[in-house]
Structure 1
Amino acid sequence: MGPQNPIIRISSHEWDGAQPMFDIRHDHSIQMKGSDCLDGVLRKNFIQQHADMGDKIFWPPPILKNIMTKDHVSQELARLKSDKKLAGDPFELVHKIIAGYLKVFATLTLAGKGKYIEKFIQDGVTDGCLPLQVRGGAISRTDAPNKVLACFEELKSRDKDCFLQYQHQVNPVILGFNGDHRTTQHKDLRAGAILPFTEVKPMRDGGFSTVIQVTVHPDCHGFNDFLKPIIVNDKFALKELSASGTATEFRKELDALKRFTHKHLITLLMSWTFNNRYNLLFPLAGANLEDYWSSSRLPGSIIRIDIDLVQWISKQIVGMAGALNAVHEPTQFLQAIPKYGRHGDLKPENILWYQSEEDSRGILVIADLGLSAINSDKSRSNIPNNGIPGTPGYRPPECDLDGGKISRSYDIWTFGCLLLELVCWALGGEENRQEFEKARESPYITGAVTDIFFDVQVKENGQGYTITVKEQVRKWTSDLHNLPTCTEYFHELLDLIETQMIIALSQDRNRIKSPSLLETLERMHRRVMDGTDGYCRKACPKKHVKREPEPVDAILNIMANKMVRERKPALSTHKGETQKPKSRQELQNMP
């Protein structure tokens, strides 16, 4: 969406109720009338910042430029000259102001001290010097902090304060990329900075951060061209780390967001620190996947294959798999020591849906890289299993194993859980997905009933535990094969999820790695898009025998053992054979 026309607002609590002293012409220029003064025109043309962000007024660059024209500046200088408040020649002075002192002159005019513009020019205080800094009561330029500006000597304290306030209002923060390179920039904003937010709505308040929806004035950001594939209408998501958040936490998330780039990964637009808080700006999504499933409700009994929907689903799955692979294998950052990443918190709430100009159904994007980590080849798995908050429903078994580490394999399990729910929704509608969620609820070692995808069972002899994929999950997966709209594509996808993604790790079995997963899904998608192939066009439901459990011996870690002892959950009993678990060393060295 391109820049909009300037917004003109009159604030009765900020200024008096007099009628505007200007004409707004069809070309959006502003014309002073008769005896108008520049101060009056400025005070009638401004944007109001949202109350939650400070309730300040500000002048975006185009609006200020429309006001501070050569003619208007000349008229103001002529008025100052006629009042004997100006020593120099207005004709010569106007050219200097237009060349580089428009914001400075506007600030002085608002402070009622326009006559001092000559002294500011003598001191070299150009528009590029704003905002000026204050140290120990002395005002100086940022590029010459030890040189006190003489132009302020004749100003009273109140006038200085007015100038320091207005300098931010004529110079609001402009949000955008770093130069022409389209790289994310970070700013350390000073006290008094004006963020150009005209609307603010709360979105999410978590333990570590707060996310709000902000509307940025269209003339105060430069993201329109970059955001063309998606539609945001000047609305963005602002994530602010809590007051307890540390610079280390902020830099960790910032590094992950900058390092990983992919169309289906959330795009960090800009970051800044302000009032000792850390901020990250993202394009605003229309919904997360959980909300999208609910709002885009498919009928509970689907009897006809929607080819467009299946193709869209396949495209988004490939996109998300590609994004995950970009995190796991960030090859664009070639280094002597290879670096690997992981997401650590894949779930429907962290998959965002954006309205898109390129796809009528939108685009799914992986978000919230706050838990992601970058590790070298030697240390990539050296993340304790109790060091990361687990997503209750998608939590993989190794979170509770002795020696278990949070590795890239962790993401494969959680991605598999997400894909299985997506297939439930695609084949049976939202009701089917919600029934699946309810069906897999059972007590866990925490004592609470959860919809986790695996069970911890007690061995029949009471000596130890086993881990297995829940019977409800295996049964539901089997039933999906027999739904009337199940095609060969969904049969293959379900088999991939069940046999290579949602599996308990053992000495003989590992989960598929992201490059192989992406390659498999891309091959499947090519067939989906082939108009001559019945792969996704011809329904072929079939009775599918529920997969037998493949329990793996589990040596629980200290925390899990403690929960079992203290909370005494009603765990089921396992009878029969089990697979050997990976050794502690194998778990620690997992990819």
Structure 2
Amino acid sequence: MANITRPREGQECTALPRLTQWEEKYDTPVPVPVGDSPQDRLAVLRMSIKSWIVPEYFTGQEGRTFLPRSTLRKIVRQDVISSVIDPGDIDLVQKACRNPVIFVTWLSGSKYLNTKFLKTTLERLQDGELPLHDCPRWISDIEEDYRQDYRQDLRDVFILHQQQFVVPVFKKQGRHSIKAHCSIPISILTTDKPLGEGAFNRVDKVYVHPDHNKIDKTTNVFALKKFESRAIQMSYLREINLHKRLPPSNNKHIVRPLASLDWQDKYYIFFPCGNGDLEKYMREVKPEGCSHRRYFCWFLQQIYGLSEALEVLHKATIPTTNDQSLGPPTSLIAGFHHDIKPENIIWFPTNKTWRVSDFGCGKIAEIIIKSGGQHISHQTLNKMGNVDYGAPEGWGDDRGCSRPYDIWSMGCLFLELLVWLLGGYGTLKSFRSARNGYVAGLGSTIDERFYELPPGDGGIDLRQAVKERIKEMKADPFFQGELRVLLDVVVEMMKIDAKDRPTAEKVREKLKCLENISETELEFTGSFPVRVSTEKSRESLTAKGEACSGITVSIRQADGSD
């Protein structure tokens, strides 16, 4: 029996009874029907099909069912077909084998549809042309002696029964357009609370029936992002096209789409299913801070991986349509995200990575190359995304935003991760509360941005709480070595003037030391060790009088490792 992959440990499932119904009939044997005549055997097989179909949950249409593909293949065997139709009609038997959906649809309605109907259908139609929405003219010519109302019955019977058997198989990177008369072999697992929800979309954990999953051989559980209406079709297409145009990369810190489908003016994208976002991770996991060497090294590598992911998105490349015979390119293309925040960083416990997700606000745009070699980036006035992590150039209606906007947002994210690493979620919440206030005095918005517009003519500046936190970190003896490098880069990323911020490539280069931590430092098992209080670790080091000339050395001493 091919195993139905259930959700992994830690992935709650509120729809296990549904999976049980699918699993019970997964290994259904299909014997050759027994009976005194073809009609008797036909009736036996027809009744057996009713017991082999399974409930369909995705469309929400009560009573809708489908036949799993493995069972369909078992039914449409030459010995089974020959038992219910004339075995001497070799041509008909072979056509039925080649078109299993048409044969089983006819079989399901064979109480009303005779063999002549099957033969004529197979002469005029193939599986790939299903489902039928209207009655083809040739159906009315099948038998001259049929009454007009009975011809209508033929159409209704065939169209009614086809939805159980016209069931898509989802393929990796496939774009599937599902017609109304099809069943969809997907069960939504997060029936009560979605994995994520925005103004225009929703992300659910779903289970794809294993017979119909060619997206990923290792799992049948995915995250399915739903775009509610045709009005936001552009957001759906933008996210699909952005990933298609990203330069090739082996970076494992980007959540890339696996497949997509559209059905009845709704649009969906399949993604790998993580175990919550970074906000949930920081809320539920007690950080080891600098008290556990392996965890700390793993943490730094995640930071580096996210910076590398941003470089992949920002990397300027030559358009594939460029004609090299015309000389050097006059433009390049590069992407931006414009909604980097903890909720858009997904935690994947299987390979212990944080990954950037949700490119619905992103775009691949053109960079104009002027005659002097200067690059002019595309500017957008689109201000979608979380304002708390938005850059200062997003303030107001007349400022254009480009790739430096992402640099600021990622810098804010890194700063919060450092606060969380050394103090936990409670300290992070206090830091956010200290940032909460009016952006530009009374009457303006209240939020947790990292900048403000103070009274007077001083212009936009970092909020006082942000300045104080950075100052405290710089004075902390623990911010040495790799950790100090990270803090200094964060300060550069959060420059008020977008032109003063480093590029994603420069950020990644400056954080290269985080990647270069030896593999022996990274034997982190993923099961978080018992937390040692950060304050106790500091007191222990202070009592020993050990200066923190290098953070890696200090961690080893605190951890008691060699």
TM-score normalised to structure 2 length: 0.76
Residue 383 of structure 1: which of 376, 380, 384 is its match? 380
Q: Match of 2:343?
A: 349
The alignment status of 1:306 with 2:292, answered yes or no, reads yes
| Residues 32, 41 of structure 1: 8 Å contact kept | no
Q: Match of 1:412?
A: 407
Q: CA RMSD in A?
A: 3.3
| Residues 425, 432 of structure 1: 8 Å contact kept | yes
2:60 and 2:178 map into 1 onto residues whose CA distance is 14
Task: After superposition, give the CA deviation of every residue in 1:64-96 in whole Å (9 maximum; x if it has no partner).
Answer: 11233333323333xxxxxxxxxx545636741
The alignment status of 1:495 with 2:464, answered yes or no, reads no
User: Structure 1 stretch 425-434 or stretch 91-100: which is displaced more?
Assistant: 91-100
2:223 and 2:71 map into 1 onto residues whose CA distance is 25
For 1:365-384, what aligned pairs fall within 5 Å after superposition?
Answer: 365-378=355-368, 380-384=377-381
The alignment status of 1:209 with 2:201, answered yes or no, reads yes
Q: Match of 2:265?
A: 276
1:94 and 1:413 map into 2 onto residues whose CA distance is 67
Q: Give the percent of matched residue pairs that are identical in Structure 1 and Structure 2.
A: 22
Q: Match of 1:551?
A: none
Q: Call closer, same or farther: CA 1:355–1:117 in 2, change over 3 Å.
A: farther
Report the Cα offset of residue 171 of structure 1: 2.3
Task: After superposition, give the CA deviation of every residue in 1:198-228 in whole Å (9 maximum; x if it has no partner).
Answer: 3343514432223333211111111224xx5
Question: How many residue pairs get matched?
Answer: 476
Unaligned runs of 5+ in 1: 7-22, 78-87, 141-146, 178-183, 541-591
1:440 and 1:295 map into 2 onto residues whose CA distance is 22
The alignment status of 1:38 with 2:45, answered yes or no, reads yes
Q: Match of 1:566?
A: none
User: Structure 1 stretch 367-376 or stretch 158-167: which is displaced more?
Assistant: 158-167
Residue 455 of structure 2: which of 455, 458, 462 is its match? 458
| Residues 528, 536 of structure 1: 8 Å contact kept | no
Instruction: Report the secondary structure of 1:539's partner residue.
Output: helix
2:397 and 2:117 map into 1 onto residues whose CA distance is 72
User: Structure 1 stretch 318-327 or stretch 124-133: which is displaced more?
Assistant: 124-133
Q: Match of 1:224?
A: 216
1:484 and 1:160 map into 2 onto residues whose CA distance is 80
Residue 253 of structure 1: which of 232, 239, 244 is its match? 239
The alignment status of 1:167 with 2:159, answered yes or no, reads no
| Residues 286, 355 of structure 1: 8 Å contact kept | yes
Report the Cα offset of residue 371 of structure 1: 0.7
| Residues 310, 536 of structure 1: 8 Å contact kept | no
Q: Match of 1:423?
A: 418
Report the Cα offset of residue 167 of structure 1: 2.0
Report the Cα offset of residue 432 of structure 1: 2.2
Aligned residue identity for 2:486: L
Report the Cα offset of residue 409 of structure 1: 0.3
2:98 and 2:140 map into 1 onto residues whose CA distance is 18
Report the Cα offset of residue 52 of structure 1: 5.2
| Residues 3, 219 of structure 1: 8 Å contact kept | no
Report the Cα offset of residue 256 of structure 1: 1.1
User: Structure 1 stretch 32-41 or stretch 510-519: which is displaced more?
Assistant: 32-41
Residue 67 of structure 1: which of 68, 75, 95 is its match? 75
Aligned residue identity for 2:421: A
Q: Call closer, same or farther: CA 1:514–1:171 in 2, change over 3 Å.
A: same
Q: Match of 1:127?
A: 127
Q: Call closer, same or farther: CA 1:101–1:402 in 2, change over 3 Å.
A: closer
Instruction: Report the secondary structure of 1:377's partner residue.
Output: strand
| Residues 438, 444 of structure 2: 8 Å contact kept | yes
The alignment status of 1:185 with 2:174, answered yes or no, reads yes
| Residues 199, 215 of structure 1: 8 Å contact kept | yes
Q: Call closer, same or farther: CA 1:289–1:121 in 2, change over 3 Å.
A: same
Instruction: Report the secondary structure of 2:338's partner residue.
Output: coil
Aligned residue identity for 2:276: A
Task: After superposition, give the CA deviation of every residue in 1:445-491 in whole Å (9 maximum; x if it has no partner).
Answer: 363432111121122xxxx3511112211221232356675552111
Q: Call closer, same or farther: CA 1:530–1:170 in 2, change over 3 Å.
A: closer
Q: Call closer, same or farther: CA 1:285–1:53 in 2, change over 3 Å.
A: farther
Report the Cα offset of residue 316 of structure 1: 1.7
Q: Match of 1:364?
A: 354
Report the Cα offset of residue 505 of structure 1: 0.7
Unaligned runs of 5+ in 2: 7-23, 36-40, 323-328, 369-375, 523-547, 556-562
Residue 266 of structure 1: which of 239, 252, 255 is its match? 255
Report the Cα offset of residue 240 of structure 1: 2.3
Q: Call closer, same or farther: CA 1:34–1:530 in 2, change over 3 Å.
A: closer
Instruction: Report the secondary structure of 1:538's partner residue.
Output: helix
Instruction: Report the secondary structure of 1:458's partner residue.
Output: coil
Q: Match of 1:339?
A: 333
Task: After superposition, give the CA deviation of every residue in 1:534-590 in whole Å (9 maximum; x if it has no partner).
Answer: 9542238xxxxxxxxxxxxxxxxxxxxxxxxxxxxxxxxxxxxxxxxxxxxxxxxxx
Aligned residue identity for 1:166: H
1:531 and 1:313 map into 2 onto residues whose CA distance is 11
Report the Cα offset of residue 528 of structure 1: 6.0
User: Structure 1 stretch 530-539 or stretch 319-328: which is displaced more?
Assistant: 530-539
TM-score normalised to structure 1 length: 0.73
Q: Call closer, same or farther: CA 1:539–1:432 in 2, change over 3 Å.
A: farther
Residue 227 of structure 2: which of 241, 250, 264 is its match? 241
2:399 and 2:25 map into 1 onto residues whose CA distance is 68
Aligned residue identity for 1:255: N
| Residues 305, 485 of structure 1: 8 Å contact kept | no
The alignment status of 1:514 with 2:504, answered yes or no, reads yes
Report the Cα offset of residue 46 of structure 1: 1.7
2:296 and 2:549 map into 1 onto residues whose CA distance is 12
Residue 513 of structure 2: which of 518, 523, 534 is its match? 523
Q: Call closer, same or farther: CA 1:399–1:317 in 2, change over 3 Å.
A: same
The alignment status of 1:294 with 2:288, answered yes or no, reads no
Q: Which has the higher helix share?
A: 2
Instruction: Report the secondary structure of 2:244's partner residue.
Output: helix
Residue 437 of structure 1: which of 432, 436, 446 is its match? 432
1:44 and 1:363 map into 2 onto residues whose CA distance is 44
1:433 and 1:149 map into 2 onto residues whose CA distance is 72
| Residues 48, 198 of structure 1: 8 Å contact kept | no
User: Structure 1 stretch 198-207 or stretch 59-68: which is displaced more?
Assistant: 198-207
| Residues 78, 97 of structure 2: 8 Å contact kept | no
Q: Match of 1:323?
A: 309
The alignment status of 1:53 with 2:53, answered yes or no, reads no
Q: Match of 1:395?
A: 390
Q: Call closer, same or farther: CA 1:313–1:149 in 2, change over 3 Å.
A: farther
1:40 and 1:125 map into 2 onto residues whose CA distance is 25
Q: Match of 2:21?
A: none
Instruction: Report the secondary structure of 2:393's partner residue.
Output: helix
2:496 and 2:152 map into 1 onto residues whose CA distance is 71
Aligned residue identity for 1:324: L
2:140 and 2:122 map into 1 onto residues whose CA distance is 10
Report the Cα offset of residue 34 of structure 1: 4.1
Q: Match of 1:560?
A: none
Task: After superposition, give the CA deviation of every residue in 1:411-457 in whole Å (9 maximum; x if it has no partner).
Answer: 00000000111111222222222222222222223634321111211
